[in-house]
Amino acid sequence: MGLSCLMGPYDQADGGVGKYLGVITVPYGWMTFAFFQMLQAGAVMFAPTRGFLAELSGSPAFTWHTVVDMLHFREALEAADLDASPLCPASVESTFDARLLDFCYAYDPRHAELLVYYDSWEDLGAKVRSTDYAAHRAKVLHLMDIHTDHVLRRWRELLRPLPP
């Protein structure tokens, strides 16, 4: 695609993601705190469309939040010779289900205008080059201010009845 990028964790103390032009993400779970941290910083986030994410989910490299079958793990642990070799959970299942993507923060219809969606790697390259970053960042920051006010108001309402 000819894009220059930095891969890896970001340092929140050093300006976080707000100092970068944009963030290319492939969601890997139903929710993460990083989603809102990036938006609070005004990040312009690029995420695959539902259809492209479903396509990517067929790749052996695809990862999504997993669930470990703890009962199976406990039985394997009890039966294992722990001196012989380390034991890893034997039964790990992905919780990915394309039919449930409304429950993923990145695909919640209420968050749709906060992200720039791409439906192929070529489309990502085109959108990275054509996005009006200043306008999108301003929209994200404005909507996150509204979100913050709403959440704080709800917490105040919840906590108001408590004695000092």
* Domain range annotation of the chain: 20-57+97-164, 64-95
pLDDT, one tens digit per residue, over 113-158 is 999 999 999 999 999 999 999 999 999 999 999 989 999 999 999 8
The three-state (H, E, C) secondary structure of the chain, written as one string: CCCCCCCCCCCHHHCHHHHCCCEECCCCCCCCHHHHHHHHCCCCEEEECHHHHHHHCCCCCCCCCEEECHHHHHHHHHHCCCCCCCCCCCCEEECCCHHHHHHCHHHCHHHHHHEEEECCHHHHHHHHHHCCHHHHHHHHHHHHHHHHHHHHHHHHHHHCCCCC
pLDDT, one tens digit per residue, over 74-121 is 666 677 666 655 555 544 566 778 888 888 888 988 888 999 999 999
- Residue 92 near residue 63 (C-beta atoms within 8 A): no
Name the more confident of 61 and 111.
111
Question: What pLDDT is stored for residue 47 in this prediction?
Answer: 95
pLDDT, one tens digit per residue, over 1-30 is 666 676 766 666 556 677 778 888 888 777
Question: Is the pLDDT score of 67 beyond 80?
Answer: no
Whether this model's pTM surpasses 0.85? no
Question: What pLDDT is stored for residue 10 in this prediction?
Answer: 62
